[in-house]
């Protein structure tokens, strides 16, 4: 856990069973649990690739509670193909990173 000026930083590394690796780095504002910044990296595949940056931007400013629903909604809306990971894995990796902030 790392904390400064009400911002908690967290990270996680999650290997999807039979799949690829997702790494999450995030900053959460406490109290309130608002996602301030997030980066999703790893050796997975998403088509189209640019979706990841737009997803990261969409998530910024949201309450952590609303993140899972938003990820599922965006993936369906944008009709993306994920290979080696699923939306549930992204959600899980973000949850692990959030837990690592100790918030």
Partner 1 sequence: MTETWRLLRTGAMDAASNMALDEAVLSLNKGKKEGTLRFYSWEPKAISIGYFQGINEEVDIRKCEELGVDVVRRITGGGAVYHDDELTYSVIVDERHPNISNNILESYDYLCKGIVNGLERLGIDSEFKPINDIITGGKKISGNAQTRRMGSVLQHGTILRTVDVRTMFDLLLVPDEKIRDKMISAVEERVTSISDMLGEKVQDDRILEAMVEGFSEGLGVKLEPGEPTSEEWEMMKTIRSEKYGTREWNFKR
Residues lying near partner 1 in the complex (CB under 8 A) are found at 13, 19-20, 23, 39-49, 52, 81, 83-84
CB count within 10 Å of CB 59 equals: 20
Write down the least CB distance from residue 1 to partner 1, Å: 19
24 within 8 A of 52, measured Cβ to Cβ: no
Closer residue to partner 1 in complex, CB, 64/90: 90
User: What is the distance, to the nearest Å, from the Cα of residue 87 to the centroid of all Cα atoms in its chain?
Assistant: 10
Write down the least CB distance from residue 85 to partner 1, Å: 10
Write down the least CB distance from residue 42 to partner 1, Å: 6
CA angle 17, 70, 94 (to 5 degrees): 40
């Amino acid at each position: 856990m790392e904390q400064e000026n009400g911002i908690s930083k967290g990270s996680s590394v999650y290997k999807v069973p039979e799949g690829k690796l997702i790494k999450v780095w995030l900053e959460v504002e406490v109290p309130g649990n608002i996602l301030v910044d997030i980066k999703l990296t790893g050796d997975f595949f998403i088509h189209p690739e640019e979706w990841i940056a737009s997803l990261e931007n969409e998530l910024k400013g949201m309450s952590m509670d609303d993140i899972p629903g938003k990820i599922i909604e965006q993936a369906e809306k944008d009709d993306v193909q994920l290979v080696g990971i699923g939306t549930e894995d992204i959600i899980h990796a973000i949850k692990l990173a959030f837990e690592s902030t100790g918030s």
